[in-house]
Structure 1
Amino acid sequence: MEDNGNLTVLVIDPNPGMRGSLQNMLNMSNISKIEFAVSSGTAIRALSRRAFDIILCEYDLDSGGEQGQDGQQLLEDLRHHKLIGMGAIFIMLTSEGVYSKVVSAAELTPTDYILKPFTVDVLMQRITRAVERRRVFLPTYKLIDQGSVRDAIRSAADAETANPRYAADFVRLRAELHASLGEHPQAEHLYTAMLGVKQIGWASLGLARSLFAQGRIDDAEAVLTQLVAVNPKLMAAYDMLAKCHESNGASARAQQVLEDAVAISPHMVRRLRHLGEVALDAGDMSAAEKSFKQVVSKAKYSEFRDPEDHVNLVKTLVQRGDATQASGVIRDLERSLRGNPNVDACKAISVAMLHDAAGNSDAAATELANAVGAVRASSGLSTKLRIGLAESCLAHKLDQGASEVMLSVMNDTKSGVSTQQAMSVFVKAGRRDLADGMGAQLKAQAQIMLGVAAEKANMGDFKGAVQSLLEAMHMSPGNQQVMIAVAKGILRQLDELGWDNPLAEICHAQMEAIHRDDPGHPQLDLINREYIALQRKYGIAAA
């Protein structure tokens, strides 16, 4: 067992008396490497500087009289922004008797939570149990942190055999790792096998996610509907079921599912945001306003506030005809979140909506132009917001601004927007000429990326070369020259750095596309032979 003297602990509690009591308890158990945080903000700064073995976090972080996040909201931020690793032990401390808050905290999977008052024996029992579990999982976690996912899968399989007490947990981890590699059939197999032994909520949820990722939306929906019926406290199942309904175009059903989830667990900011977006799409302005107001209020003290929440609230209020409240939201945005390009863009978009609602088209156009300028210097703005900005620019004849914003979307490989989808924004606005112009620019940029990839490959940066090639493919899908370059670049990386299943699948997809377009292409046979040779080299069974 790990020596307690080597454990590092961060105590997050605004109450000095409780901090002192926890320090005494930890010292009695030979734990002396302790740091303290009095709020979510100081905790985030401490966790940004270094990692801790154990985090003891008071749920009610307002108990010291200072407003701020509660422990659940802090944990949500820490998980989402990856400020705590898989090996971190997060224990929630609470005397909170409100059931909904306990559910909200529990669904974020803290390692444990302890109800106050508690003794030093109870605290150390929980810590000892958590440390012992971490010891078993740590070798696999380290491989994951190093990016060695395949080695981590093998490590988890070995540990599963050696530690039958945690066998189910290692099956779950292996399935999640396969899913992270895009190997959803393998993940599906593991979840199905687990369900054959015992009906476990996380296995049903994982199975549904695997089915969804494979495009089997109706099958996923059936699994989730049954799961919610038998396990109504598994909150993530509601989120996934709502995604299924959205994919099938059933916004009203998605909204109802999310409302059911919020009624059970009302403190998850990201779920409230999702509910607001779905309600907005479904045309339920009252529900959208309620949700976005809660999001803005609950996120007020987060270190990671998102100015787009204000934009969504302004949009809802404008559509409801409440310009006065919308103006107040914009003032709050400017006052509390000023000082970065994302905020400037969001403010300009919001003010433009107000001007449009008042019939001030020229003033709206000026603000939209300001928003385009702010987008140039921004980072992390959502695809949905940028596409909405482009559509507004087109409506106001700001052709150059619309093209610039849509190019920023297409140059972002994480946007999830295809070239065809981007073109459709212009086509729907009756501007086929702008769509053709953007297509020509993307092809030119793809050619530049091919040159960048060649330079990286010549320098031995095979991963970097493939990344540039994938960017070129995103910009110019269906371009035969790009497809050939992508296939050859991936084959070179696989040969030099080892087999990578998701990349191999991309390579194979390019080979099939080339064969469909030009079965007699002079390089296709060579690429096929190299692919088969690599399968043999790594002992991969040919399909």
Structure 2
Amino acid sequence: MQDYAELTVLLVDPNPGMRASLRNMLNQSGITRIDDAVSSGTAIRQLGKKNFDLVLCEYDLGSGSGDNGQDGQQLLEDLRLHKLIGPWTIFIMLTSEGVYGKVVSAAELLPADYILKPFTVEVLMQRIAKAVGRRTAFLPIYEHIGQGNVREAIAASTTAEANHPRHATDFARVRAELHFGAGQLAEAELAYHTILAGRPIGWAHLGLARCQFAAQRYDDALATLDKLLAQNPKYMAAYDLLARTHEALGQAVQAKKVLEDAVAISPHMVSRLRHLGTVAYETGDIGMAEKAFKQVVAKAKYSEFRDPEDHVNLVKTLVKKGDANQASGVIRDLERSLRGNTNTEACRAISAALLLDLSGNDTAAANELSNAVAAVGLAKGLSNGLKLGLVQSCLKHKLDKDAAHVVIDMMGDTESGLSMEQAVGVFEHAGRHDIARSIGEQITHQVEELLESAASHLDQGDHRAAVTTLGMALRKNPSNLPVLYATISAMLRQLDELGWEAPLAEQAGLLLERLRRIDSGNPEFDTLLQQHSATQRKYGISTTA
């Protein structure tokens, strides 16, 4: 019998009787290192303090725990999104839920397993044994991935496959995903084609489509996804990528239809509902946007990671509808329920300005917009969409300095990724060519200064500083070919001279793919490509030119 004495377990269930029953079952098999959580909130706090080998989570977490709107699916979504559990954590969902949509929602987040109640200790331990066995086979790979060692992870997967041939397909999947994550799209696509040559597997079709999407071969991605959904109409992740692909092709109405179909099948994924609300609003389907954003606010209400931007989206939709009463109620809920969140004041002020606009109170709306600009400067992690919406509102109220201030701050924020073209485009779209020209001149000057600084760092042999500086320049002006060439060249020099670093190699690979699309006929591109291949071969990443 397998010894599980060292296994650490977190039981997530609001029912003390069920926790006691689970604890007794686990104790019978020698598992004693067990902690309890009575709600999603306590589970998140537990997982934030320590790692667990196994999480046994009840689907329905609403029985007197205080998290009446939170379920196990939403908890797992939070844990995956915020990286509170790694791929080595075994997450098993326990449920007596018979509603198919909820089961699909839970299953698509890829728990290690889900077990329908009632179950015996034998069934529970069989499922745990299966999950532990698989984790043991993959643990060396997970360890390399956690350290950012892509080359070692790929090598470990090949070794592990020889020792555990029953998991051969899973190891092939890991290798393909590692190539994709490292920006090696050609290698990843070849790996997925090789897998599919054996048999049609849903995740391999999805992986192939992701490669095609990343390479901006959107028509190919559409064909692959259509084929996948024809074979498996309940493969939910395919709907999400299909919607993004339609959006990339400028087909927002089709994207909305895809998301509506997905929500009809699996109605509990908050991220998908949020996406549906956004696309519906953009296409003018205010009824659908209102319905989706209301569900987002309701379902996220008990999450430890509530986002006040969801309230802004709902207020914006209700204002568009002309429903001042409901919009006012949403703002009051935002102020009451998200007090203390660093982003709440910015979202409250933006929402209030939208509502005041509806009532025609321009002076008060302008005051709230100025409050919002000040609050945005203190907030963390606000989306580009929200900030650009604020810029547009400022321009509408002739708050030119406030609008320019927000954009310039976004340009200086390494997390925003706002480019010069996007920044200038905001003002051009608003008919403010004077501000667009001024912003463009400021950014061009900043890029020139960064290029000079990077050259100085390279002269001093400081490759890391040069790469960091060039990255800043590229974020400001990603379509600037000289900056793009200089950035890739500096990255490859650093990799060659200072050693292989997976995150940097991934960035270089992605930038090379971008350069391939826009300037592949340039001999300088061929030189960089050869340099990239030589560096990969040097570290055993690739043996092909």
2:64 is aligned with 1:26: no
Q: Identify if the C-alpha distance between structure 1 residues 483 and 116 changes in structure 2 by more than 3 Å, giving closer, same or farther.
A: closer
What is the aligned partner in structure 2 of residue 127 from structure 1? Answer: 128
CA 1:100–1:507 in 2, change beyond 3 Å: closer, same or farther? closer
Segments of structure 1 that go 5 or more residues without pairing to the other structure are none
Say what the alpha-carbon RMSD is for the aligned residues.
Answer: 3.0
Aligned-pair CA distance for 1:376: 0.5
Q: Distance in 2 between matches of 1:532 and 1:229?
A: 38
What secondary structure is seen at the aligned counterpart in 1 of 2:335? Answer: helix
Superposed displacement of residue 149, structure 1: 1.4
> Aligned partners of 2:479, 2:276: CA distance in 1, in Å?
37
Aligned to 1:53: 53
Tell me the alpha carbon deviations over residues 161-190 of structure 1, each in whole angstroms, 9 at most, x when there is no partner: 332111111111111111111112211111
Aligned to 1:224: 225
Cα distance in 1 between the residues matched to 2:27 and 2:491: 54
Contact 2:428-2:436 within 8 A present in 1 as well: yes
Q: Cα distance 1:26–1:248, how it changes in 2: closer, same or farther (>3 A)? A: same
Q: CA deviation at 1:59?
A: 0.6
Aligned counterpart, 1:115: 116
Aligned to 1:330: 331
Q: Residue by residue, what CA displacement relative to the aligned partner does 1:201-255 show, whole Å, maximum 9, x if unpaired? A: 1111111111111111111111212221221111111111111111222222111
Cα distance change of structure 1 residues 165 and 529 upon mapping to structure 2, 3 Å threshold? closer
Partners of 1:234 and 1:526 in 2: CA distance:
42
Q: Which has the higher contact order (CA 8 A, sep 6+)?
A: 2
CA offset at residue 479 of structure 1? 6.1
Residues 308 and 128 (structure 1 numbering): CA distance in 2 closer, same or farther, change over 3 Å? Answer: same
Aligned match of 2:63: 63
- Check 1:329–1:504 CA distance in 2 against 1; reply closer, same or farther (3 A cut): closer
Distance in 2, Cα, partners of 1:502 & 1:329: 41
Other-structure match for 1:473? 474
1:503 to 2:497 alignment: no
Q: 1:87, CA displacement in angstroms?
A: 0.2
Secondary structure at 2:55 match in 1: strand
Q: Deviations over 1:21-53 (max 9, x none)?
A: 111111111111111100000000000011100
Separation in 2 of the partners of 1:143 and 1:306?
33
| Distance (whole Å) between structure 2 residues aligned to residue 512 and residue 306 of structure 1 | 36
Mapped partners of 1:439, 1:316: distance in 2: 32
- CA shift, 1:191, in A, is 1.1
Q: Which moved more, 1:482-491 or 1:64-73?
A: 482-491
Opposite residue 46 of structure 2, the aligned amino acid is A
SS in 2 for 1:377: coil
Could you report, residue by residue, the CA deviation over 1:319-375 in whole angstroms, capped at 9, with x for unpaired residues? 111011000000000110122341111111111111111111111111111111011
Residue 409 of structure 2 corresponds to: 408
Secondary structure class of the residue paired with 2:34: strand
Q: Once structures 1 and 2 are overlaid, which stretch shifts more, 416-425 or 261-270? A: 416-425
Give the equivalent residue in structure 2 for 1:153: 154
> Where does the alignment leave 5 or more consecutive residues of structure 2 unmatched?
none
2:375 pairs with 1:371: no
Q: Which residue in 2 is equivalent to 1:351?
A: 352
**3-state SS of 1:474 partner:** helix
User: SS state of the match for residue 334, structure 1?
Assistant: helix
The 8 Å contact of residues 351 and 364 in structure 1, kept in 2 or not, is answered as: yes
Relative to structure 1, the CA distance from residue 476 to residue 241 in structure 2 (aligned partners, 3 Å threshold; closer, same or farther) is closer
Normalised by the length of structure 2, the TM-score is 0.91
Shift in alpha-carbon separation, 1:484–1:170, aligned structure 2, 3 A: closer
Shift of 1:431: 1.9
> Contact conserved, 2:417 with 2:476, CA < 8 A, in 1?
no
Aligned residue type for 1:411: G
Give the AA of the match of 1:503: A
Once residues 17 and 537 of structure 2 are traced to their aligned partners in structure 1, the CA distance between those partners, rounded to angstroms, is 65
**CA 1:363–1:54: 2 relative to 1, 3 Å:** same
Separation in 2 of the partners of 1:112 and 1:530? 45
Distance 1:513 1:262, change over 3 A: closer
Provide the rounded CA distance (Å) in 1 between the counterparts of 2:468 and 2:143: 25
Shift of the 245–478 alpha-carbon distance from structure 1 to 2, 3 Å rule, reads: closer
Q: Is the 8 A contact 1:39 1:68 kept in 2?
A: no
2:202 pairs with 1:201: yes
Paired with 1:228 and 1:484, the residues of 2 have a C-alpha distance of: 39
Change (3 A) 1:506 1:275: closer
AA aligned to 1:204 is H
What is the number of residues matched between the two proteins?
539
TM-score of the two chains, using structure 1 as the length reference: 0.91
Cα distance in 2, alignment partners of residues 185 and 526 from structure 1: 18
Alignment of 1:368-517 (within 5 A): 368-446=369-447, 449=450, 462-463=463-464, 465-477=466-478, 482=483, 486-487=487-488, 489-499=490-500, 500=505, 502-503=507-508, 506=511
Q: In structure 1, what is the Cα distance between the partners aligned to 2:250 and 2:516?
A: 33
